[in-house]
Amino acid sequence: MELEKVMVELDTLKRQSERLEKINNLHARMAGVLSVSGMIEAFSVWLMPLVNHELIGYHNEQRQKRHLFCSGHGPNRRRAVALAEQLIADTVPRDGGLIRQGGCYAYKWVFETSEDAGILLILKEGVPLTIAELDLINHALEILAECLRRGLEYEELFFRASSDPLTGLANRRVFDERIQGMMDSASRYRTPLTMVSLDLDRFKQINDFRGHQFGDQVLQAVAAVLKKAVRSTDLLVRMGGDEFLLVLDNTNLASARILAERLCLAVDALDIWADPGTKLGVSIGLAERQPDEELRSWLERTDDVLYHAKAEGRGRVAVA
């Protein structure tokens, strides 16, 4: 009887030690990850050998963060992502499993803090999670929740440091960080790269006549127009004042000119006036980067072209 008791205790200690080792491995994997998306991916990679699953997703309504990491491909991936999107929108009991779409088990946890709440989803096909698997995940979620809080804080700080507080566009710091990489990529793959320099026409008169608060609203409206027109691969920056810079990835001068002319019309359509004779417009200068051209030379050429657009009557596009 005594030996049996000792064996039970040893087995319990062994399981606890194994779980502690797994949790320590999770700590080590998460320690060097800063972004929320990276944390979700790292958590999934750690969990996969221990608990086979199709998808892990995180959604935070207040922070407008959603990251879905799926191990599948093709139709399986699309089905898992569609189910995750549905479960995020549905009211699902927390910490409970349910079956959806051909035997896929979905589990949903809610992380609540004094500031906001986030949802974690785990999708698993075939059989539900075992008690042991749920126990492991519940312990691991304590670590993940703390890491996600850190990740959200980091992303918030990074956003503040890298974005213009008035318009929400990227700032000069982001331009300095990204432009060389874009240039190197364009050189490596021999793709065109065009710089677009934009300067608002008569903004000073509008700002002086209608007030700085209205001027801020004008800059926000223009930023919204520009942001709507560009792709995620492009680089749109507020350089300061009423000056904006746009770097168009894999875009030649002819295509850039079409976009620039649309931007001129879009700013004109805002229909902003200082007085009956003074309307907001935008002058735009374009310069496609030449092979092996240095950044300084490229910026200077673009600035010269913008100067010509201003000199030739404003509200127009000029090209190098």
Do 183 and 249 fall within a single domain? yes
* pLDDT(280) > 70: yes
Say yes or no: 136 and 26 in one domain.
Answer: yes
Of 136, 162, 188, which closes a domain?
162
- pLDDT at 306 exceeding the cut of 60: yes
Query: What are the CA-CA distances from residue 137 to residues 18, 95, 106, 125, 128 (Å)?
Result: 14, 11, 14, 17, 13
Checking if the pLDDT of 98 tops 80, the result is: no
- CATH code for the domain of 77: 3.30.450.40
Please determine, for residue 163, whether its predicted confidence score (pLDDT) is greater than 90: yes
pLDDT of 155 reads: 85
Residues 249 and 285 in one domain: yes
Q: Is the pLDDT of residue 319 over 90?
A: yes
In a domain, 196, yes or no: yes
Are residues 262 and 205 part of one domain? Answer: yes
Q: Is residue 152 part of a domain?
A: yes
What's the mean pLDDT when you consider all of the chain?
88
Do 94 and 6 sit in the same domain of this protein? yes
Q: Which residue has the higher pLDDT, 224 or 320?
A: 224
At residue 49, what is the residue type? P
Same domain, 103 and 203: no
Nearest to 263 by CA among 282, 242, 239: 282
Per-residue pLDDT tens over the stretch 17-39: 677 888 889 989 888 888 888 89
Q: What is the pTM of this model?
A: 0.62
- Is residue 109 domain-shared with residue 210, that is, in the same domain? no
**In Å, what is the CA distance from 22 to each residue of 19, 47, 143, 300, 308?**
5, 9, 12, 56, 65
Catalytic residues: 242
pLDDT at residue 309, rounded to an integer: 93
CA–CA distance from 194 to each of 65, 186, 239, 282, 299 (Å)?
A: 31, 10, 17, 18, 11
User: Do 155 and 213 lie in a common domain?
Assistant: no
CB distance 291 to 320 below 8 Å? no
DSSP assignment of 93-134: -TTEEEEETTTEEEEEEEEE-SS-EEEEEEEEESSPPPHHHH
* Mean pLDDT, residues 252-269 taken together: 96
Structural domain includes residue 167: no
Local confidence band at 6 (pLDDT 50, 70, 90 cut-offs): low
Indicate the pLDDT class of residue 250, thresholds 50, 70 and 90. very high
Percent of the chain with pLDDT over 70: 90
Query: Number of folded domains in the chain?
Result: 2
Q: Which domain holds residue 191?
A: 172-319
Is residue 165 pLDDT above 80, yes or no? yes
Residues 177 and 157 in one domain: no
Instruction: Tally Cβ neighbours within 10 Å of residue 43.
Output: 26
Does residue 229 lie within any of the structural domains?
Answer: yes
Q: What is the mean pLDDT of residues 228-248?
A: 94
Whichever domain contains 275, its CATH number is 3.30.70.270
Residue 318: its pLDDT value, please? 95
Virtual torsion, Cα 266, 267, 269, 274, nearest 10 deg: 180
Least confident of 150-154, 183-187, 212-216, 279-283: 150-154
What pLDDT, on a 0 to 100 scale, did the predictor assign at position 99?
66
pLDDT at 3 over 70: no
- Top-ranked range on mean pLDDT: pick from 80-89, 103-112, 277-286: 277-286
If asked whether residues 107 and 181 sit together in one domain, one would say no
Same domain, 184 and 44: no
With cut-offs at 50, 70 and 90, classify the pLDDT of residue 1.
Answer: low
